[in-house]
Amino acid sequence: MTESPAPEALVIGAGPAGLMAAEVLAGQGARVVVTEAMPTPARKFLMAGKSGLNLTRDEPWELFVTRYGGSAPREPAPLAGPGPRPPGYLVNEEFGAREVMAWARGLGVDLFTGSTGRVFPVGMKASPLLRAWLSRLAEQGVELRTRWRWTGFQDQGWRFDVPGGIRVLAPRVVVLALGGASWPRLGSDAAWVPWLVGRGVDVTPFRPANMGFRVDWSVQMAQHFGQAVKGVALHVGDRIGRGEWVVTAEGIEGGGVYEVSAAMRDGAEAFVDLAPDLATEELARRFARAPVKLSVGNRLRRVLGDPLRAALLMEWGRPLPTEPDRLAARAKALRLRHTGPMDMARAISSAGGISAESLTGALELKALPGVFAAGEMLDWEAPTGGYLLTGCLATGRRAGRGAAAYLAATRR
């Protein structure tokens, strides 16, 4: 059944990108309906915040902007001089880390910045921020409809499976914020791809991003499953990951791996520096001083100071050289041996999506006038550490502004 009167603005997807687009549209006076397939909004946002909601990364713009890859429009370098920035960028100085922080504080959420520049709510949790945000949206007149699953087009409308049947909406403007393909159990299953491709939208195939890698461990490594690898550096091309990661029965996962996972997924070799704070020569001297009566494992543990790092050297470094200088060189550039990335269901995010060629600067779909897209639907990727969420909020804001401008133009 087609709804009458139709909502003026429809946002499909109640994650951070969709809610930001709805907030912008409502702020411009639009009557907004947000539909969400799941029973509750922003499930992936809440799941990501379970271990501490990393909102953004407070670091120099010149560094921040380099974290974004993919084909979606983005600003490759800071623009010199005053004045407005040109439209069409994924992240820009108009809405970057500092603007995200100001937005969160505007919701009454106190923040703190960690030693690495990561920004968190003082309470660390996502749910208080989401509750405050949904309350503000409700005050603006935004209507949220859960268990409304978009199932494609019907005539000139948008068809939904809803409790009790089928509904068709015919809004004046639409913002799509359906997510990518990672964590499908939380709602982002990329079911929308054939419907948009059928309407002439180019979609780059999805691949896992911010994911772990599978490793065929020897039986000796089983005793270390579940342990965190600390104090090492992962080198992949010009990228370096210094965060912790975990050895699991399936392979390796964690922030330090995610930082360099895109290059690893695309075929670049990864090397582990087991002693990044020591020069090779100093490490060689320590190996030379280790008592020769010790077993190989005990010798490595004594020098490296950690049984897990010693185990990784024995696992990936065989055959181990006996000369201290060669052993040190091996420990400083240990080839990480893996069998490929973990699948999409285990990935934090996804690469791929609607290509830049299919979008205007306002994130409107060229093939579907009046339809905008935001968030992980677009072909971009970024590492964890606040960059993902900032990108979703920034694109939601841009799509919302584009949709509001489209509405204003059609009212004339």
Q: For the beta carbon of residue 165, count every other beta carbon within 10 angstroms.
A: 8
pLDDT of residue 94: 64
* Nearest alpha carbon to residue 129 among 112, 108, 102, 99: 108
- Domain boundaries 9-208+349-411, corresponding CATH code: 3.50.50.60
pLDDT in tens, 175-220: 999 999 998 888 889 999 999 999 999 999 999 999 999 999 999 9
User: How far apart, in whole angstroms, are the C-alpha atoms of residue 31 and residue 171?
Assistant: 10
User: How far apart, in whole angstroms, are the C-alpha atoms of residue 71 and residue 91?
Assistant: 13
pTM of structure: 0.89
The one-character DSSP state at 71 is S
Q: Which residue has the tokens 């029965």?
A: 249
* Token digits of residue 205: 């195939």
Domain ranges in the chain with CATH number 3.50.50.60: 9-208+349-411
pLDDT of residue 51: 78
Of 17-26, 265-274, 385-394, the least confident: 385-394
Secondary structure of residue 233 in the 3-state scheme: strand
* Average model confidence (pLDDT) across the chain: 90
**Phi first, then psi: what are they for 175, rounded to 5°?**
-115, 125
Secondary structure of residue 116 in the 3-state scheme: coil
pLDDT in tens, 34-91: 999 999 999 989 988 777 899 999 998 878 888 888 765 444 333 333 333 333 346 6
User: How far apart, in whole angstroms, are the C-alpha atoms of residue 263 and residue 244?
Assistant: 18
User: How far apart, in whole angstroms, are the C-alpha atoms of residue 321 and residue 312?
Assistant: 15
What are the b/e assignments for 244-261, b being 16+ CB within 10 Å?
Answer: ebbbbeebbbbbbbbbbb
